[in-house]
Amino acid sequence: DQQVKQNSPSLSVQEGRISILNCDYTNSMFDYFLWYKKYPAEGPTFLISISSIKDKNEDGRFTVFLNKSAKHLSLHIVPSQPGDSAVYFCAASDSGAGSYQLTFGKGTKLSVIP
């Protein structure tokens, strides 16, 4: 039973355009959400996060939106650059459980075409 789902295994976007990566979750206890970026042969690196008390968090070209009622979050990258080509993982945590462990989706491979 996958609690965090990234339904698009891959996405191709032209350089300079917007990339939108989507993520859905099923566990209503999740209250903290993160996006990680992963290049080949490297570990995932933390990109941006959002608490459930917010609906938007922005950091430079990256913005994460959270729709709690729909149990959906998205990562917007504007403008997309070739260096953004990587696998993006959505992750969620239930801080109330006290474990702070992260449950990951399976990832979306983003290709930014020059």
x/- site string to other proteins, residues 42 to 71, per CB under 8 A? xxxxx--x----------------------
d(CA 23, CA 4): 7
Work out which of 27, 61, 79, 102 binds other proteins, going by CB under 8 A.
102
Helix, strand or coil for residue 13?
Answer: strand
Q: Taking CB under 8 A as the criterion, which residues in 24-43 touch other proteins?
A: 32, 34, 36, 41-43
Is residue 93 within the footprint of other proteins (CB under 8 A)?
Answer: yes
Torsions phi, psi of 83, nearest 5?
Answer: -70, -10
- Closest residue by Cα to residue 114 from 84, 75, 76: 84
* Side chain identity, residue 109: K
Q: Minimum CB separation from other proteins for residue 99, in Å?
A: 6
Which residues are 1's β-sheet partners?
none
- The residue ranges that bind other proteins (CB under 8 A) are 32, 34, 36, 41-46, 49, 89, 93, 95, 99-107
